Structure 1
Amino acid sequence: MPLYLQLEARLRHMIDSGQLRRGDVIPAERELASMTGVSRVTVRKAMGKLVQDGLVIQKTGAGTFVSGRFSQPLSELSGFSQDMRARGFTPGSHWLDRQHAMAGPDEAMALGVAPGTRITRLKRIRTADDEPMAIETAIVTARDLPDPSMVQDSLYAAFRARGLVAVRALQRLRAGLATQQEAQWLHLKPHAAILRIERRAFLADGRVLDVTYSTYRGDMYDFVVELTASSTTLS
């Protein structure tokens, strides 16, 4: 791998893991070259790649700063709280709704249950170090989550306490524009770019454990998927 890509990967890992956090200053080009033992041209190319991907911001006369974007791999099944803690952030929630209800037709179809089945609805603003990152609405059968107050920060921690473990999930992503209410909750300008994600998690026996609808800030998140070639020749 070229040296500039090695350096870019090292810096990207430091940002994703929380070693470098939003607003932190990246050392100057000359200093970074001295620290890593590579040329300034190599440093410049690595930083250019990070700027292009939105992970750092270069301000004339002020320096280079971590922008605070997150790269979230789509190949890993993890919850928001787990992901934020792994990056060195403190996850939190502002609850908007946490109650029992009867499943409507769409909810029943998503969960694979009969309409009118008792479910638990959980709607909240997810935060990292008290900064809003996403709006999340989860639906679960009351059988699997009989008491909504069991969920504090992590829904999956509440599941594990009941011996329920998701083994796989399906996700659907689409781009969108924030509504006025979404923009207010996420501290965005009206009609700012957002990512809408629907995730359906399954237990080992194939039963749906939860369906979660999330709205992520487009200025803070990149979702990354790794692709591998099949045994046939690519054309």
Structure 2
Amino acid sequence: MSVVNFLSPENWLQPDAGPRYVQLRKRLSEGVDQGLLKAGNPLPPEREIASITGLSRVTVRKAIQSLAQDGIVVQKQGSGSFVASHTPKIEQSLSRLTSFSEDMARRGMMSSSAWLERGIFMPSPDEVLALALSPDASVSRLARLRAADDKPMAIERASLSTEVLPDPLLVESSLYEVLEASGLRPVRALQKISAINLADDTAKLLDVAPGMAGLRIERTSYLPDGRVVEFTQSIYRGDAYNFVAELRLAKE
């Protein structure tokens, strides 16, 4: 079936089936699911969709924006709207404390990083509290864009006391390998996960549409003796991760 026939209003548009932009959104989403609108390919221009469907360009634009918010399409300024590339879901266990590099290696995926920030800084109030730092202490910060098989997956910002990591330039790939070499690899952690909508600058780094759903994760990691060793604030693509936890019935 051609895109023109697929979008012809007599095939799907109903007067009593809800707002027109919602019906169009559903029809375009069905086109993606059926492979008629293929991943990576551009959607027909707004004016063309409006001409085929008989809907206003405002209605068409609203439907496409709704698809973009859910990550089904990606809007690129000056280029139009494109069907988003399929991103397989990665199941991340909440019961294992591993590095990003280790997680991807276990899945047979090639991990890579792009440095966003790496150095020694005055700590923020959150870092002072999380790492139990003295007011005059310094903190090593490592901020990276993490990718798997060249696809951006997460923005990871790790903070450590300079007593734990005196030289952040020692970390070239895996932070945990550096910590393990000095006998300071964490053995347990507490994580807080919250849902967010990605801000424009974050979405650009993750190559998704602004406002798309994401996951913010704060993690505080501990040494065997209970000392805090690492505080991370990460943002993950919502379309790329499922976090899995095993629960057991508590004994009464």
State the distance in 2 between where 1:132 and 1:172 align. Answer: 22
Tell me if the contact between 1:174 and 1:197 (Cα under 8 Å) persists in the aligned partners. yes
Map 1:194-209 → 2, pairs under 5 A:
194-209=214-229
Tell me if the contact between 1:104 and 1:115 (Cα under 8 Å) persists in the aligned partners. no
5+ residue gaps, structure 1: 1-56
State the distance in 1 between where 2:201 and 2:35 align. Answer: 35
5+ residue gaps, structure 2: 1-31, 38-85
Tell me the secondary structure at the aligned position of residue 248 of structure 2: coil
Map 1:7-86 → 2, pairs under 5 A:
59=34, 67-86=87-106
Match of 1:224 among 244, 248, 252: 244
Give 4+ residue runs of structure 1 displaced > 2 Å after superposition.
57-62
Which structure would you say has the larger Rg? 2
Match of 2:147 among 114, 121, 127: 127
Of all paired residues, the percent bearing the same amino acid is: 44
Partner residue, 1:43 = none
**1:185 counterpart letter in structure 2:** L
Map 1:80-159 → 2, pairs under 5 A:
80-159=100-179
The total of aligned residue pairs comes to 175
State the distance in 2 between where 1:111 and 1:151 align. Answer: 19
Partner residue, 1:213 = 233
TM-score between both structures, scaled by the size of structure 2: 0.66
Tell me the secondary structure at the aligned position of residue 81 of structure 1: helix
Tell me if the contact between 1:124 and 1:137 (Cα under 8 Å) persists in the aligned partners. yes
What displacement does 1:75 show?
Answer: 0.9
Tell me the secondary structure at the aligned position of residue 212 of structure 1: strand
Tell me the secondary structure at the aligned position of residue 214 of structure 1: strand
TM-score between both structures, scaled by the size of structure 1: 0.70
The two structures, once aligned, show a CA RMSD in angstroms of 2.1
What displacement does 1:149 show?
Answer: 1.2
